[in-house]
Homo-oligomer: A and B are copies of this chain.
Amino acid sequence: MSTTTADPTTRSAADGPDLAPLIDALPDGAVITEVDSMAGYRMDWAKDPNAGTPLVVVRATCTEDVATAITFAAEHGISVVPRGAGTGLSGGASALEGCMVLSTERMRDIRVDPVTRTCVVQPGLLNAEVKKACAEHDLWYPPDPSSYEICSIGGNIATNAGGLCCVKYGVTRDYVLGLTVVLADGKVITVGGPRLKDSAGLSLTQLFVGSEGTLGVVTEIVLRLVPLQRPPATLIATFKTLDEATATVLGITRTMRPSMLEFMDKASINAVEDVTKMGLDRDTEAMLIIQSDEPVDYAAAEIEKITGICEENGASEVFSTTDKEEGEQFVVARRMAIPAVEEKGTLLLEDVGVPLPALGDLVRGIADISTERDVMIAVIAHAGDGNTHPLIVFDPTDADAEARARKAYGEVMDLAIALGGTITGEHGVGRLKKEWLNAYLGDDVLALNHIIKNALDPAGLLNPGAGY
């Protein structure tokens, strides 16, 4: 029995194993144990109320640091919660009580190879920084989550993140050629690499993408890059009814591949107008923001064709421009939606997706849930992918409102499942959506997830409870 008096600001030896060997094995400043200093590592943007306090935070600087940390955790039976920039929206980086938070924020190297049109990047670099480093070589890394300026590429890999251009250019997994991964026992493996095609062995690279840190911790990523995107032409259209807007979406996607096809409902339009006073029509039921990045004359022709589809379907107003800067002004309304709605209260940010023809039913059903539960739900969507972000708003000082909001959060997922949809299109399951995963996947597929998890991490120490 230890007789040490507990110091409330640090964890004593009585709380867990002796951390000295870990501290010795890692660079200066890599290990944090003060409770106050660890506070910023407890939650991600999902603000999971059940987040615990870690035993230790490790701020790794390289693959070897990650291997050292995981080996130590494995030896002492400590759960490991990997963490990128902490911008996750499903609680995949919520700390567990007594866990090791393994932060990759200091792993920020990137090497761009313009000859092979690839880059090798560490997980802590932000998505926007990856884009910028590639752009210096006239290359483009397409996936663009709305949070691209603050989310890490490692987190993007963990959740198979999407974004606005994915309707034409695909999601994160479509750009991942290879990974260096530290497995649950501390072993370092490299899967895939800068080869554009590879059919040798199982698709382990793809298995790790989207696995939310439950199968291993990614420490290096080989990304495929493409030539820079052409400046897009932009169209904005408003509709008096939801049906007009969803019919327009289907009319477009059936024959065309716009490089952006975004949707905003009345509540999100009004929230943005409250903040920006940019002159949006507060009475409009739905707005579409659409871009084409075809070569300039063809983009103009595509936008003209889309204008026709909007008008056929009864659009109130259609405005378009081939000027990149002017177009970007329209996109700002969409990008402002989340912060603008957040002005109204605390957000539960949903991420349900459905097959495209069910988009209208989903949005209508969400409105019904909003009415029934008496909570504000603003809906924005990557409409061309059928992927919606219902933003559920509640007053954090009103316990009943919060309870109704959490009820609505679950009901939106139930609705998506009933419509043949998914509980998460691009944010991951994390800890907040885990309760609905079985209903979505079914018993057999969930069991298969567990079989693979158990095979790779028999002790269940890697991000337990997240994403599976």
**What is the chain B residue whose CB lies nearest that of A228?**
B255
Task: Please determine whether A195 and B454 come into contact, CB atoms closer than 8 angstroms.
Answer: no
Which residues of chain A from 198 to 255 have any CB-CB distance to chain B below 8 Å in the complex? 198-204, 206-207, 209-211, 214-215, 226-227, 250, 253-255
Instruction: List B contacts of A63 (CB < 8 A).
Output: none
Instruction: List B contacts of A255 (CB < 8 A).
Output: 138, 227
Task: Please determine whether A203 and B202 come into contact, CB atoms closer than 8 angstroms.
Answer: no
Is A319 interfacial (CB 8 A cutoff)?
Answer: no
Q: Which among B166, B187, B295 is the interface contact of A294 at CB below 8 angstroms?
A: B295
Is A418 interfacial (CB 8 A cutoff)?
Answer: no
Is A173 interfacial (CB 8 A cutoff)?
Answer: yes
Q: Which among B174, B297, B448 is the interface contact of A170 at CB below 8 angstroms?
A: B174
Task: Please determine whether A196 and B114 come into contact, CB atoms closer than 8 angstroms.
Answer: no
Which residues of chain A from 442 to 468 have any CB-CB distance to chain B below 8 Å in the complex? 442, 444-446, 448-449, 451-456, 467-468
Is A189 interfacial (CB 8 A cutoff)?
Answer: yes
**What is the chain B residue whose CB lies nearest that of A467?**
B201
Is A369 interfacial (CB 8 A cutoff)?
Answer: no
> What is the CB-to-nearest-CB distance from A26 to chain B, in angstroms, rounded to a whole number?
23
**What is the chain B residue whose CB lies nearest that of A454?**
B455
Task: Please determine whether A210 and B204 come into contact, CB atoms closer than 8 angstroms.
Answer: no
Is A391 interfacial (CB 8 A cutoff)?
Answer: no
Task: Please determine whether A204 and B174 come into contact, CB atoms closer than 8 angstroms.
Answer: no
Instruction: List B contacts of A451 (CB < 8 A).
Output: 455-456
Bound complex: CA of A59 vs CA of B385, how far in Å?
37
Task: Please determine whether B428 and A199 come into contact, CB atoms closer than 8 angstroms.
Answer: yes
* Interface flags, A401-423, vs B, CB<8A=1, else 0: 00000000000000000001111
Bound complex: CA of A449 vs CA of B203, how far in Å?
9
The answer to whether A444 and B189 touch (CB under 8 A), given A203-B210, A207-B202, is yes
* Interface flags, A160-194, vs B, CB<8A=1, else 0: 11100011001101100000000100010111011
The segment from A4-12, A14-22, A348-356 found at the interface with B is A348-356
Instruction: List B contacts of A191 (CB < 8 A).
Output: 445
Bound complex: CA of A204 vs CA of B206, how far in Å?
9
Is A387 interfacial (CB 8 A cutoff)?
Answer: yes
Q: Which among B199, B211, B425, B445 is the interface contact of A429 at CB below 8 angstroms?
A: B199
Task: Please determine whether B355 and A116 come into contact, CB atoms closer than 8 angstroms.
Answer: yes
> What is the CB-to-nearest-CB distance from A252 to chain B, in angstroms, rounded to a whole number?
11
Task: Please determine whether B189 and A199 come into contact, CB atoms closer than 8 angstroms.
Answer: no
Instruction: List B contacts of A282 (CB < 8 A).
Output: none
Task: Please determine whether B117 and A197 come into contact, CB atoms closer than 8 angstroms.
Answer: no
Q: Which among B116, B198, B353, B433 is the interface contact of A198 at CB below 8 angstroms?
A: B353
Is A25 interfacial (CB 8 A cutoff)?
Answer: no
Bound complex: CA of A297 vs CA of B433, how far in Å?
49
> What is the CB-to-nearest-CB distance from A458 to chain B, in angstroms, rounded to a whole number?
10
Instruction: List B contacts of A442 (CB < 8 A).
Output: 189-190
**What is the chain B residue whose CB lies nearest that of A443?**
B189
Instruction: List B contacts of A174 (CB < 8 A).
Output: 170, 174
Which residues of chain A from 345 to 377 have any CB-CB distance to chain B below 8 Å in the complex? 351, 353-357
Instruction: List B contacts of A170 (CB < 8 A).
Output: 174
Is A293 interfacial (CB 8 A cutoff)?
Answer: no
> What is the CB-to-nearest-CB distance from A111 to chain B, in angstroms, rounded to a whole number?
14
* Interface flags, A32-59, vs B, CB<8A=1, else 0: 0000000000000000000000000000
Bound complex: CA of A255 vs CA of B139, how far in Å?
8
Is A399 interfacial (CB 8 A cutoff)?
Answer: no
> What is the CB-to-nearest-CB distance from A78 to chain B, in angstroms, rounded to a whole number?
23
Is A65 interfacial (CB 8 A cutoff)?
Answer: no
Top 4 A-B pairs, shortest CB-CB distance:
A206-B206, A455-B455, A197-B425, A196-B385
Q: 19 additional contacts, CB 8 Å, given A117-B254, A173-B206, A199-B351?
A: A138-B255, A160-B199, A167-B196, A173-B203, A189-B445, A194-B355, A195-B425, A197-B426, A198-B422, A198-B425, A200-B440, A201-B445, A201-B449, A201-B467, A201-B468, A202-B453, A206-B206, A207-B207, A294-B295
11 A-B residue pairs with Cβ-Cβ distance under 8 Å, sorted by A, are: A161-B199, A166-B197, A170-B174, A193-B355, A198-B425, A200-B440, A201-B429, A202-B448, A204-B452, A206-B209, A227-B257
